[in-house]
Structure 1
Amino acid sequence: MLCAGPATATPSVSGPLAPANPYLGPVGTSTMHGDAGSSDVTPLPGPGTGPHEVTAFPMMAACPTVLQGSDGMVVSLCTTMIGQIPTIHLIDPKADATPLGRSVAQLPLAKGSLLGGVYAYLDNENRLVAVDGNRQLVRISHAQNPDGSWRLELADVVDLSGAVASDDNVTGLAPDWEGNVWFATGHGTVGYVGTDRIAHSLALPEGEQVQNSISTSPTGTAVATTHALYQLKRTGDEVVIDWRQPYDRGPARNPGQLSWGTGSTPTYFGPSTGSDFLTIVDNAHPTVSLHVYRADTGAEVCTQPVLSAASQDGSPSGSENSPVGIGHSVYVAGTYGYPYPTTPEGAGPAVPATAPFNGGMTRVDIDPVGCHVVWDNTIRSSAVPHLSTADGSIYTVTRDGAANTSPLDGYSFAVIDSKDGSQIGSTPLPSTILNDTLQMSALITESGEYFQGTISGIVRVRAN
């Protein structure tokens, strides 16, 4: 179902990405959300509308983070099905399949929380930057041995135990434009590791948790807690709150979300600099809204209810995904009712405990007097959508079957026209209950292939 918004012209994809962060790898492939600002936009073309060739690579692990460096090698941070151990996989996308998919080297990390270690990025030296379960900021490099084999090795480590409590864990990290590595913890500590290799931190108000990743832009560092959206900056050695905007967190955690609050990693976007605005989706009940703020002042630009088409039967809405943002446009995918097998410690009960998964996706455009809905559909995205500015398509995976989900549901690679919200391509994934994409983020590679993490490994989709 597709519901158009007010009678306005629907522009094609336009608008700049923020300037490339010099401490990250390639734009579009070095972070889970594409860039430092978490735009979920890539300048690379995807596999197109089809036909497609689909290949599943079993890793015996869930793989939420799949990245590609400037050397073309893919680096994935996965969690093993047995033991839940974070493990880095180095994948040669051109190599023949091995017993672990295309993984040519592996390196386990110390085990942390459910979300600790999920968020990582590739730096400008193609090193994976992450925080392990021992509260160590690690940089993992890869190299080829004389015999042609590959290895992963610890290149650098910084101890964060002085800034992160023993019962806490890092849930998000990203570099700023000066080379500082910013981090946020589940219990609400925000800080950075400077070039002095010392962690400087600030405790946010008691009770505010951070259960999503963080974003950076030349303007500052954005952190969404379970109560408010913050922009922070460094003044001297201190972490300073630039501005704070509370939002409606609703009466309880929604089913299909992992915390009681926003499910958004904050997204920087905008028509002038690529980071003019900052946006999240709240947790209001029964209908969630998109909030857009000016990044420089924190002033609210507009608030717009979203995901109405998927809620026409009276069901509530919600989103655990980072909004997609480019130019004047933001795209929001609904996750209300998505059946996560587990939630982070302290997430609290969902109310209701379960619900149908109706999905839905909404495009909102910023206009001179606020914002408005351009289109609203009922596509049931089961992954974080990514928008390609090269071909104007939104790429994701849909969950097939009835709204009342079942372990026997199928999944399909889906292509959506960003101009009108129509689905213009669909290819079924291999039929197995282990191909649940669990609202994880994908990678569009430099060669136009789509690598999607699942609960058991990675699925690759490419033009046939």
Structure 2
Amino acid sequence: MHSVPKTSLRTASAFAALSLSLVLGSGTALAQPWGPLAPPNPFLGPDGTSTMHGDAGSSDVTTLAGPGTEVSATAQSLLAACPTLLQGSDGLVVALCTPIVSRIPTVHLINPDAPASPLAKLELAKGSLLGGVYAFLDDENRLVVVDGSRKLLRIGHTGNSLSVDSTVDLTGAVPDGDAVTGLVPDWQGNVWFATGAGVIGSVDAAGVARTVRVPEGEQVQNSISSSPAGVSVATTHALYQLSLAADGTPKVDWRQGYDRGSARKPGQLSWGTGSTPTFFGPNTGYEYVTMVDSADTRVNLLVHRTDNGQEVCKVPVLGSGGPGSENSPIGVGNSVFVASTYGYPYPAVPEGAGPAVPATAPFTGGMTRVDVDADGTGCHEVWDNTVRSSAVPHLSTADGHLYTVQRKGTGGPLDGYEFTVIDPATGQVLSTTGMPGTTANDTLQMSALITAKGDYLQGTVTGMVRVSAGEGGGSGSLGSLGGLGSSAS
């Protein structure tokens, strides 16, 4: 597969979105062009496919078109949970999976047209539940990850083989018993990391790591994000933006506390926000950064200016879905999309997460769209629906669709799953397609990959599901008649 320059992809996608918006009818999802996005990070692989959340800013937006509404879905068993699916400029997919039996993190090199038969595998040192989950592809298609022995690895591939191209020992920067939970490059090529116990660090091109600590008791249980404005880290108590001091040491530019509630909630993996921070904005694509708090009775979307940390708005969200979100919001232009995970029946939580209060709750589901006001001084809810999203949703600016998976059932072992396409303008479901299997194919709020070919690869607890354009067993446009309770406001 020949690679296409990133700038060309962005220009072509933006032109296509604008042109289509002028000719498509009002019933079509693509009713407006979406964007802009922040400029591509030059130290990442292809834009949209080189991080779990699409790009360095964790927008969960792609300029690639997805499979659309008429699709077929097939399960691909790898006997492993696969939360990280990335695609390089050569078209090959690099998956970071955890086998069901050994629990040893394993890198899979996959031909996306035959995902059930990996071309190569490479085992990594075992760490914590969240350690090693977050990784990215660099500009040479190498997987950058920190393994359980606290080593920063760059894993390359040639032909049908995987190999460790470089290693940086972080044991001097990451204390014993701690693990890296977030990883992202900045615009100078430094690799930033954050640990569960609250160490934030940067590794320069020479392999030198420099760190700073957040206050005692604050943890980092989600990934981290970067933009030309800085690096954003959400702890269990506050949102931070950081940059490098003159000597290369990370420094805090601003800190904003938030309401973390009185305890961990069912459907969340830590006591505090479940958000990987998301950069977005209508001009540069990164003038704002957003996250969801963990307030007790109803959670709020928080939007801050990246230049000074000033709060733009605090808006209650997920009125239908329950007070909790473990997912990174989608952010593009003036719009943010949030999905509820409150009550989601995770089979395990990280060690030390603490008890949930209440211990369990029904997974009701729901999504909310919030827009920043045109003058940048406030926000307002656009719609709220009851879609029971069981995966991290993604928005395609090329086809104007919001893609996710719905969980169907009551939270038991016989629950099923449906590939779901949503109109981001209205929150209405455009189509649903049944996916193979029951909870053996639980999507577990994991993030999907929309490939350069337009397939939707969704990680599950046993491998992945591949959704491709073509006639399938879905309900088509009937999905929008399913009593979703979408409301504009």
TM-score normalised by the chain length of structure 1:
0.93
Are residue 151 (structure 1) and residue 157 (structure 2) matched? Answer: no
Instruction: Tell me which residue corresponds to 1:429.
Output: 435
C-alpha distance after superposition, 1:214-265 (max 9, x if no partner): 0000000000000000000001221100000000000000100000000000
Instruction: Tell me which residue corresponds to 1:329.
Output: 335
2:371 is matched with which residue: 365, 372, 376?
Answer: 365
Query: For 2:35 and 2:379, how far apart are their aligned partners in 1?
Result: 16
Residues 13-162 of structure 1: matches in 2 within 5 Å? 13-50=33-70, 52-95=71-114, 101-144=116-159, 150-162=160-172
Kept in 2: contact 1:230–1:243 (CA 8 A): yes
Identify the range of structure 1 (257-266 vs 194-203) with the bigger mean alpha-carbon deviation: 194-203
Corresponding residue SS for 1:343 = coil
Query: For 2:274 and 2:31, how far apart are their aligned partners in 1?
Result: 28
Kept in 2: contact 1:13–1:418 (CA 8 A): no
Query: For 2:260 and 2:311, how far apart are their aligned partners in 1?
Result: 17
Kept in 2: contact 1:93–1:102 (CA 8 A): no
* 1:209 alignment partner AA: Q
Corresponding residue SS for 2:119 = strand
Deviation at 1:129, TM superposition (A): 0.3
Query: For 2:458 and 2:352, how far apart are their aligned partners in 1?
Result: 28
Instruction: Tell me which residue corresponds to 2:417.
Output: 411
C-alpha distance after superposition, 1:369-416 (max 9, x if no partner): 4100000000000000000001111111000023xx111100010000
Deviation at 1:13, TM superposition (A): 4.2
TM-score normalised by the chain length of structure 2:
0.88
C-alpha distance after superposition, 1:427-463 (max 9, x if no partner): 0111232110000000000010000000000110000
Instruction: Tell me which residue corresponds to 1:272.
Output: 283
Deviation at 1:102, TM superposition (A): 2.9
Query: For 2:63 and 2:438, how far apart are their aligned partners in 1?
Result: 32
Instruction: Tell me which residue corresponds to 1:192.
Output: 202
**Structure with a larger share of its residues in helix:** 2
Are residue 355 (structure 1) and residue 361 (structure 2) matched? Answer: yes
Query: For 1:296 and 1:107, how far apart are their aligned partners in 2?
Result: 41
Query: For 1:231 and 1:359, how far apart are their aligned partners in 2?
Result: 30
Query: For 1:279 and 1:55, how far apart are their aligned partners in 2?
Result: 35
Instruction: Tell me which residue corresponds to 1:228.
Output: 238
Corresponding residue SS for 1:142 = strand
Kept in 2: contact 1:39–1:325 (CA 8 A): yes
Query: For 2:34 and 2:398, how far apart are their aligned partners in 1?
Result: 10
Instruction: Tell me which residue corresponds to 1:313.
Output: none
Instruction: Tell me which residue corresponds to 1:390.
Output: 398
Corresponding residue SS for 1:434 = helix
* 2:253 alignment partner AA: D
Let me know the Cα RMSD of the aligned residues. 1.0
Instruction: Tell me which residue corresponds to 1:254.
Output: 265
Deviation at 1:55, TM superposition (A): 1.3
Kept in 2: contact 1:13–1:419 (CA 8 A): no
Instruction: Tell me which residue corresponds to 2:474.
Output: none
Are residue 463 (structure 1) and residue 469 (structure 2) matched? Answer: yes
Instruction: Tell me which residue corresponds to 1:289.
Output: 300
Kept in 1: contact 2:413–2:438 (CA 8 A): no
**Which 4+ runs in 1 deviate beyond 3 A?**
none
Corresponding residue SS for 1:172 = strand
Query: For 1:82 and 1:438, how far apart are their aligned partners in 2?
Result: 18
Kept in 2: contact 1:231–1:242 (CA 8 A): yes
Kept in 2: contact 1:121–1:128 (CA 8 A): yes
C-alpha distance after superposition, 1:103-145 (max 9, x if no partner): 110000000000001000000000000000000000000111x
Kept in 1: contact 2:105–2:124 (CA 8 A): yes
Gaps of 5+ in 2: 1-29, 471-489
Equivalent pairs, count: 438
Corresponding residue SS for 1:195 = coil
* 2:394 alignment partner AA: H
